[in-house]
Amino acid sequence: MPKPNGTMSVRSAAPTISIIDINGEVNSFSENTLMDAYTQASSMGAHTIILNFSGLSYMNSSGIGLLVTLLIRTKRQNQRLLACGLSEHYRQIFELTRLNEAILVFDNEADAIKSAERIKAA
């Protein structure tokens, strides 16, 4: 099986907010990488997970499918999924596939964290 042409790393932005930094490509070969990153973020106690796409080089339709799968998983765990750092092109793809109706999209990481903290405070 081909290896994924991308990496994902997890860091904590606050006790209940984790960020997954996505670098390189997201396609069907990224499934294990993404789900491992999600598991790591969850084990850190994250209620909100922010997908940081600023290092994304390419995403195909299978990659978008993986995001839907991840979204369903986070919903089951009562977690929230946010996105930031998307290029204009991938913002359009989120709109086209109507992912933006379920994943809030922010311009940058700081805005996403602020939003997550506001929701937590409320």
Partner 1 sequence: MSDSNGSREVPKDANWAGPVSKLKVPPMPPEAINLNVEGRGVSGPLQGFGPLWQKTYQVRLSGVKQTPTEVMQVWKENFAKFQPPGNHFYSSLEGIKPGEIMLLDSKVPVFPGTPGAIPVATGMMVLYVDDTSITLMTPEGHPESGWNTFSVFEEDGVSIAQVQSFGRSADPIYEFGYKLLGGEHLQEQTWSYVLLALAAYYGILGQVSMYKTCLDPKYQWKEARQVWKNASVRTIFYYLGAPLRWIRRLFSPGKPAR
Residue 7 found at the interface with partner 1 (CB under 8 A): no
Question: How far apart are the two ends of the chain, measured CA to CA in Å?
Answer: 46
Interface residues for partner 1 in 29-88 (CB under 8 A)? 29, 31, 58, 60-62, 65, 68-69, 71-72, 75-76
Decide if 26 contacts 61 (C-beta within 8 A): no
- The residue with tokens 């506001």 is 118
Residue 27 found at the interface with partner 1 (CB under 8 A): yes
Phi-psi region of 78 (alpha: psi -120 to 50; beta: other; left: phi over 0): left
* Counts of helices then strands in the chain (DSSP H, E): 4, 5
11, 25, 42, 117: residue in contact with partner 1 (rule CB under 8 A): 25
Nearer residue to partner 1 within complex by CB, 36 or 45: 36
Nearer residue to partner 1 within complex by CB, 83 or 93: 93
- Part in contact with partner 1 (CB under 8 A); list of ranges 7-15, 46-54, 78-86, 99-107: 99-107
Decide if 109 contacts 19 (C-beta within 8 A): yes
**CA-to-CA distance for 121 and 49, rounded, in angstroms?**
16
- Tell me how far, at minimum, the Cβ of 117 lies from partner 1, in Å: 26
Residue ranges in contact with partner 1 by CB under 8 A: 1-2, 5, 25, 27-29, 31, 58, 60-62, 65, 68-69, 71-72, 75-76, 89, 92-93, 95-99, 101-102
